[in-house]
Each structure stands twice: as C-alpha cells, then as structure tokens.
Amino acid sequence: ETGVTQTPRHLVMGMTNKKSLKCEQHLGHNAMYWYKQSAKKPLELMFVYNFKEQTENNSVPSRFSPECPNSSHLFLHLHTLQPEDSALYLCASSQDWDTDTQYFGPGTRLTVL
Amino acid sequence: QKEVEQDPGPLSVPEGAIVSLNCTYSNSAFQYFMWYRQYSRKGPELLMYTYSSGNKEDGRFTAQVDKSSKYISLFIRDSQPSDSATYLCAMRELIQGAQKLVFGQGTRLTINP
C-alpha cells in the first residue's frame, strides 16, 4: 500500500451506533489531519496531530473523538451522531504540521440514518 | 462574510479552451495559497502552491496571486477531458506556532470533448 489509505470507504450507521474510521499513511510523515467535506460546503479541518500529539481541535463536537496511537495511524471514533454529520471524512498527512503539501486519502463516505 | 469565496459552478467548457478559476479572500494575513484538484470519489491532491504575489507556472497550469486585491486564480491552458474535476482553493496563515487553513467551496469543472 502506498500513500494514505482509509477504511472503510463507505459507512452507514444509526444515531445510536458506535463506529470508528481508520486512516493509515505510508509516507513517513509526522502530521495527520481529519477533515469533513459536506455537499456545498468548504472542506473543514477537524483535528490536527503532530508527532502523535493533538495540536488543533476546531470546535468539533465531542461525539467525534480522535485517536493517534502512532505517527502512521489515525482513528476517528464516532458515537451518537446526527444525520447532519453525514459527509465525506478525509484523512491527510504531511511531513510536518506546517508543511504546505498535505496528501489526502480517498475518504470515508458516512451516512447517518 | 466567508473568509474564502469560490464560485461552486458548475463550469463547463469545450476541450482546448482556457479555463480560469478564481477565489477571493478577506483575511489579509493569509500567506500561502494553494490549489487542489479532486476527482470524483478521490481525495484532493495538491496542484499548485504559491507564497507571494505573482504568477507560478507548471505545465498547462498557472497560479496567480494578487494580494493587494485579495484574489487568486488558476488558469488551465489547452484543457483536456482529464482535467474534469472539482478544484479547491486553499489558504494558510501561520499564527504563533499554529496554522489556520481555510478552503474554498470548490468549483466543479467539466471539459467536454
């Protein structure tokens, strides 16, 4: 595997479910990011991790819980989501947090019923 | 007022035409300007990156930044059907050890053979 991979690619869940999104980067980068991309809205940065430490949390509701066990893996734990949370969730990585080039994964298409 | 404004389109042009994509912004502290291309069912990929006002060329693509007008553009010459994608502008500000990255909504572009 090369680049940034995300699993699952598609996820349908009820509002009471708990699920997790996984991201893995094979680029040797130190920074990883979660973004939310909704229809007709700009890409929204959710969380930033640099060397496994969370450096940014852009006022994201607590029903989204990130986890970064090492520099190569990033998770987004989901619980009691709302239908308006349905979106494409993108993971990205970069050499360092302040590097211009971020490499994106293909995303997880999430639908909350 | 949104920090970054981008016409979502859709924009449809014939093959071989010159395409002009634009974004305006209100935050004069943005220092870095990027264009991403996003194909359907894929994550965004960095296309062009500029720091200062002026032009930057890469093959058929030219990125232009006018900081005085707070206006950036991406030109595509000799457009090809393979250029059909959504183009996202993005801007970054570094603030005392943190970064602020803001994306435009994206412009959906179709090149017709």
pLDDT tens digits, residue range B36-64? 999 998 899 999 998 878 899 999 999 99
Specify the pLDDT at position A51: 80
Chain A residues whose CB is inside 8 A of the B92 CB are 100
Question: Tokens 């435009």 label which residue?
Answer: B104
Decide if A42 and B49 are in contact by the 8 Å CB cutoff: no
Specify the pLDDT at position B90: 94
CA-nearest of A33, A53, A14, A50 to A107 is: A33
Taking the C-alpha atoms of residue A76 and residue A27, their distance in angstroms, rounded to an integer, is 20
Taking the C-alpha atoms of residue B87 and residue A10, their distance in angstroms, rounded to an integer, is 23
Taking the C-alpha atoms of residue A43 and residue B71, their distance in angstroms, rounded to an integer, is 19
Residue A90 has pLDDT above 80, yes or no: yes
The DSSP code for B78 is S
Of the candidates A55, A90, A101, which has its C-beta nearest B43's C-beta? A90
Q: Sorting pLDDT into bands at 50, 70 and 90, what band is B98?
A: low
Residues in B whose CB is inside 8 Å of some CB of A read 2, 4, 6, 8, 32, 34, 41-46, 49, 88, 90, 92, 94, 98-99, 101-106
Residue A73 has pLDDT above 80, yes or no: yes
With an 8 Å Cβ cutoff, is A31 touching chain B?
Answer: no
Instruction: Count CB pairs under 8 A between chains A and B.
Output: 49
pLDDT tens digits, residue range A12-48? 998 888 999 999 999 999 999 999 999 888 999 899 8
Backbone angles phi, psi at B44, to 5 degrees: -65, 150
Q: Sorting pLDDT into bands at 50, 70 and 90, what band is B65?
A: very high
Residues in chain B: 113
| Helix runs in chain B, H state only | none
With an 8 Å Cβ cutoff, is A40 touching chain B?
Answer: yes
Specify the pLDDT at position A68: 94
Chain A residues whose CB is inside 8 A of the B90 CB are 43
Taking the C-alpha atoms of residue B34 and residue B51, their distance in angstroms, rounded to an integer, is 9
Specify the pLDDT at position B100: 76
pLDDT tens digits, residue range A50-71? 887 777 777 899 999 999 999 8
